[in-house]
Each structure stands twice: as structure tokens, then as C-alpha cells.
Chains A and B, each alone.
Chain A
Amino acid sequence: MLVVPGDESLPVAAARAGNPAAWDALFRRYQLPLYVYVYELLRHEQTALDAVQETFINAARHLGSLRDDAKFGSWLFGIAHQKCAQHWRKPRREESLDESYSEQPDDEPLPADLLIRAEQEEELMTLLNQLTEPHRAVLLLHFLEDFSLEEIAGITGVGLGTVKSRLHYAKKALRELITEKTT
């Protein structure tokens, strides 16, 4: 069973004071989720490792600009997202499609609440691979750290409506996959 410590005892204040042990704890807490996020977006191991390392260095350099210690996680993922954005070169043609979903009601349970059976893992990964980077990013942020919509909007640098539409689209596709396989 994989154990990743929670956010209850994040030593952000100690890290701001320059405590290396605090930085070690913070890096240890986020290294794997950050790597998963970056890797699933970039699909390249070495690039993902480099991005994680640059994210850590940038975070250590600019932690003084973080006002709310409780938002350290989303702030860190935001830096990592920018590292990914630097590697993306293809145009964002799906933006207009996103907005068409933004007004739709979405009362269905969140995908993070769903449980994935062992035989569904590959299908889930296949689905993730089929999504575009923006949709995949929103879904990964929701899966990995259960960020709020506002936090995801801050990380990805898009509007709240766009985040809602992307999450709606990704959830719909995931739900269809799971219902197909279970029936």
C-alpha cells in the first residue's frame, strides 16, 4: 500500500525560514504526485524528472512570494504546470469546444470518488491517453490532490468556467468507460 503523508503537518513556515529538513519533507511529500502529473502530461521520463527538479528549485527560490502556506500544494503544481506548458507546442483548438460545456449542470459524483478495479486500470490509462493535455491536466489534478476548481484554475491559468467544462468532459468520458465495462 502506497503511503504519502497528508497536508496536516506541512512545514512550509520552517522551509521559508531556510530549514533544509523542512524542504526535504516538502519535496518528499510532493515528488511522486508531481512526477505523475508531469509525466502523464509530457510522456517523457527524463523531461518529467527535469521538470520536477526545476519545480523544486524554483519553489525554493520563490517561496517568499507565497502568501498562504495552506496553498503550497497548488502553488507547487502551478510551477510544474508552467514547466509542462513550456513543452507544449500544439495550438489549443479545443478552447471553443470547452465553453459549450460550461453551462451544463453537473451533479454526478466526482471521478475521484469512484473505485477502479484492477482490470479497469488499463482502460483508465487508455482513456487518460486519449484526452487532450488540458483535459488530462484537469483530471489528473483532481485525481492526485483533489484540488478544488478554483485551485485547478489557478494552477492551469485558465478561467473557472473552462475548468468546469474540461472536468465535465473528462468525467463524462470516464463514466462512459466505466459503465461500458461494468455492464
Chain B
Amino acid sequence: MKTPREMLLARHQAAQPKLDAVRQRALTALPSDSGAGVPPALVLWPSRLKTHQPGRPVDRWQPRRLPHYLEAARELFLRPRLAWSALAVAWLVIIALNFATPETSAPGSALATATPPASPETLQALREQKRLFTELVGGTLPHDAEPPRFVPRPRGEAKPAYHYV
């Protein structure tokens, strides 16, 4: 009683000498760097060997192509790459100059902050000059006092906004 495997191998046992010769020929044809040069991503599983013909080199690994929309986007942004680079450099220069320049204030504000507050004598002199100027011109001196307050009047003195006909 044999297993099918034993039976099949025994039937072809006579081919062993020829197979030994085949093995020797294959060993002499071994490449010096067997297994090298094939990228790990390339798995030469039998389904990928369908197109391989004896005598032709096996298809080597090729970079995977991007989808069409990614290719289009890539072209759109990568074609003017010189312009993008120039813009980036310009912005970097602007930012660098902004940080390198010392902090300066506006001239008007600097003057205002530098002026000391007026003394009471100065204010009095200014009022006197203003009064003399008004007298020379002939006008009335505007009151420095507070504006007149609203004084309510009786309702009968109020001017009606319309008339009865």
C-alpha cells in the first residue's frame, strides 16, 4: 500500500539521472549575485510571470503612476515653480527686515509725548492774549463757561408746530 505521492514519485524514479544533470546545469548557471538587484516591492509570484518568455528579460519594477487628477494638480503647482520660489524669498526678506528694524513711533505722537504739560501761568497768558485779540477785532469773547442749560418753559408759551384753520 502506497500513498499517491509515493506512487507518483516511484513511477518517475527512472528520471533521476537526467534530473541530476538538469540540476548540475542549473547550478552552473547560478548568478553570482543571486537574489540581488530585484526590488523588494516586486514579487515575482506566478501570476506576474505570465508575460515572461524564455530568453527575454523579466519585467523590472516601474514607478507607479499617479491618477490623472493628481497629475494635473501637480502640473498646475509645479510648472511655475520659479515664480513660487521668488515669492517665497521675497516674503522671507520682508519678514526678516521687519524683525531686524528697531521699533520706532510716529513723529506726531513723539512730539506730543515730549511736550511737558502747560503751567497755569502759561494758560493765563494765553487767555489774556485771546481776550485782547477779541477786543481788537470787535467781537464778543466766547465764554469759557459751561453752555446754557435747558430751562423748561410753560406749555402755553410753547410755539405750536401747526395752526388750526
Contact = CB atoms under 8 A, between A and B. Distances in A.
A49 B7 contact: no
A15 B26 CA distance: 13
B50 A157 contact: yes
Interface in A51-77: 52-54, 56-58, 60-67, 75
A81 B12 CA distance: 18
A62 B13 contact: no
Given A52-B22, A64-B37, A82-B49, A36 B8 contact: yes
Interface string A102-146: 000000000110111110010011000000000000001001101
Interface in B25-70: 25-27, 29-38, 40, 42-47, 49-50, 52-54, 58
A39 B54 CA distance: 19
Interface stretch (A25-33, A93-101, A160-168): A25-33
B94 interface: no
A143 B8 contact: yes
A67 B33 CA distance: 17
A169 interface: no
B19 interface: yes
Contact of B50 (A18, A63, A82): A82
B119 interface: no
Interface residues of A, number: 58
A27 B16 CA distance: 12
Given A61-B34, A125-B11, A143 B46 contact: no
Contacts of B9: 2, 4, 32-33, 36, 144
Contact of A31 (B1, B4, B22, B58): B22
A111 B22 CA distance: 31
B153 to A, nearest CB: 106
B18 A49 contact: yes
Contacts of A15: 34-35
A63 B25 CA distance: 18
Contact of B4 (A16, A32, A116, A118): A116
A128 B31 CA distance: 37
B143 interface: no
B23 A27 contact: yes
Contacts of B32: 18
B34 A49 contact: no
Contacts of A39: 12, 15
B32 to A, nearest CB: 7
A58 B57 CA distance: 11
